[in-house]
Chains A and B, each alone.
Chain A
Amino acid sequence: MSAHAETHGAHPPVANRSSRVDSRLLGIYLFIASEVMLFGSFFSAYFFARVAVPHEEWPPHPYELPVYLALLNTIILVSSSFTMHWALQSIKRNNRAGLIAGLAITFGLGLTFLLIQAREYTRIGFSPHDLAFGTTFFGLTGLHGCHVFLGLTLLGIALVRSIRGHYGPSAHDHLGVEIPGIYWHFVDVMWIVVYTTVYVI
């Protein structure tokens, strides 16, 4: 029987334990941090164009944005966050059917979002080279669309794995769903900001 303290000698002190997170979680933290900065640069360009370029109205005449179609897309994407959360809660309770259903619905909602956005692009009546407005609009929404696509890819992998019987109720066993879930919510948060700033205000 012995007692000893975890001390350090002639070397740097040990890292604060708060920083000892799972390396895969740390990876997604850093990735999301870089994504926030990337979106930040696109938002900066958008607000610069909006404030610095003298237009009496925004969007500049004669362009119009499909606000209600984008609202429908917002509802779809926000709903997908709820189904994603349901999927995670299901596997934590060892409910595999709930996990598969939640992931499948989330995937379906995300795909619907992308298809609606693609349809919006084809009928919107302006293109990326129409003023700074067009460039920043397509830049922001397109960047977000790319993230939805990436999120769908991750969700698709998680869905296939869950159908094949992977994942379990303990945290270590469903990290493969947890991480895409965190990413999906990040994508959702970004869309809420994009929709409010670009379409509504």
Chain B
Amino acid sequence: MRNPVRTEAEAFSFVIAVLALFLAVALVGILLNGWAALVAFVVLAPIIGYRYFRSDPKVVEPAVWDRSRDADGRHRILVVANETVAGRSLRDEVVRRAHEGDAEVLVVTPALNTRIRHWTSDEDTARTAAQIRLDESLAALSKDGIDARGTVGDDDPIQAIEDSLRMFPADEIVVSTHPPGRSNWLEHGIVERASERFDLPITHVVVDLEAEAETSRTA
């Protein structure tokens, strides 16, 4: 969801949205009367508001978190995964990348929640479940000798990435999802949206948990 006062660019887009809304309201008021203008406002404000607040900001704003970027030479990898966080193929990918040099890994697990629980701030169950998955993943990474830490993030993965980047100046982002057809994130275009939003290399890792479970059973 967009925040109209997050940056000047966001505030400017909000000015344009408000201008469009009130131009339409003013036209109705001039052509009909004040009450018709009020009706137009009541009808149009939710429509324009919904379109504005639900759209993705087009402007990439890396500089908001760029200032925290450290110059210690370490390669920082931000891993975003939820149910697939403990997947073998994700772990292999992270280990491979981390061993390419002196790397630091932050694993972020968005606390996925239902819409109704989100709006009622009932996040405890979702955060606990995400924390359990995260702990398992970190334990596995630790066994592989990776310097990784983790945190539970916002239930919107894009927001979770943005929040994490404010604290962790990553050099690249790894997004892990289920395979196409089973991934809610892929359906919502999370990887594409992240590429548009963040000025960083993004790697998409597909984790097929069912296939991994089958492989481990047969092995």
Which residues of A are interface residues toward B (Cβ below 8 A)? 1-7, 13, 16-18, 20-21, 25, 28-29, 32, 58, 78, 81, 84-85, 88-89, 92, 169-172, 177-178, 181-182, 185-186, 188-189, 192-193, 195-196, 200-201
> Are A6 and B151 neighbours in the complex by a CB distance under 8 Å?
yes
> Are A3 and B166 neighbours in the complex by a CB distance under 8 Å?
no
> Are A172 and B154 neighbours in the complex by a CB distance under 8 Å?
no
Dominant SS among interface residues on chain A: helix
| B64 cross-chain contacts in A, Cβ below 8 A | 171
| B15 cross-chain contacts in A, Cβ below 8 A | 78, 81, 185, 188-189, 192
Contact of B147 among A3, A85, A181 (CB under 8 A): A3
| B43 cross-chain contacts in A, Cβ below 8 A | none
CA distance A48 to B74 in the complex (A): 62
7 closest Cβ pairs, A-B complex: A3-B142, A171-B63, A181-B8, A17-B163, A185-B11, A172-B67, A201-B29
> Are A1 and B142 neighbours in the complex by a CB distance under 8 Å?
yes
> Are B37 and A201 neighbours in the complex by a CB distance under 8 Å?
yes
A200 to chain B: closest residue by CB: B26
B28 to chain A: closest residue by CB: A201
Which residues of B are interface residues toward A (Cβ below 8 A)? 5-9, 11-12, 14-15, 18-19, 22, 25-26, 29-30, 34, 37, 61, 63-67, 127, 131, 134-135, 138-139, 141-142, 145-151, 153-154, 159-160, 163-164, 166-167
Contact of B22 among A4, A92, A178, A193 (CB under 8 A): A193
B140 to chain A: closest residue by CB: A3
Q: Beyond the given A171-B66, A196-B25, could you list 9 further A-B residue pairs with CB under 8 A, ordered by the A residue number?
A: A6-B151, A21-B6, A78-B19, A84-B8, A84-B12, A170-B66, A182-B11, A185-B15, A193-B18
